[in-house]
Amino acid sequence: MSATGIRTGEALGLDVTDLDLTSNTLTVTGKYGKIRVLPLHPGFRWE
């Protein structure tokens, strides 16, 4: 969490559909429904 800056509540609300491996991004829904798209580190690998 510290590497992305997301809050605990945001992390708990994540779903697998929030992860886009094509564009290497994570879509996070925050306070008041605010949506942020976070880039993932280039070394991130889903296995």
> Where along the chain do its domains lie?
1-46
The structure's pTM equals: 0.75
State the average pLDDT for the chain. 87
CB-CB neighbours of 4 under 10 Å: 15
CA distances from 19 to 7, 29, 33 (A): 16, 12, 17
DSSP 1-47: -TTTT--HHHHHT--GGGEETTTTEEEEE-GGG-EEEEEPPTT----
Residue 44 has pLDDT above 80, yes or no: no
From the list 35, 28, 22, the residue with the least C-alpha distance to 9 is: 28
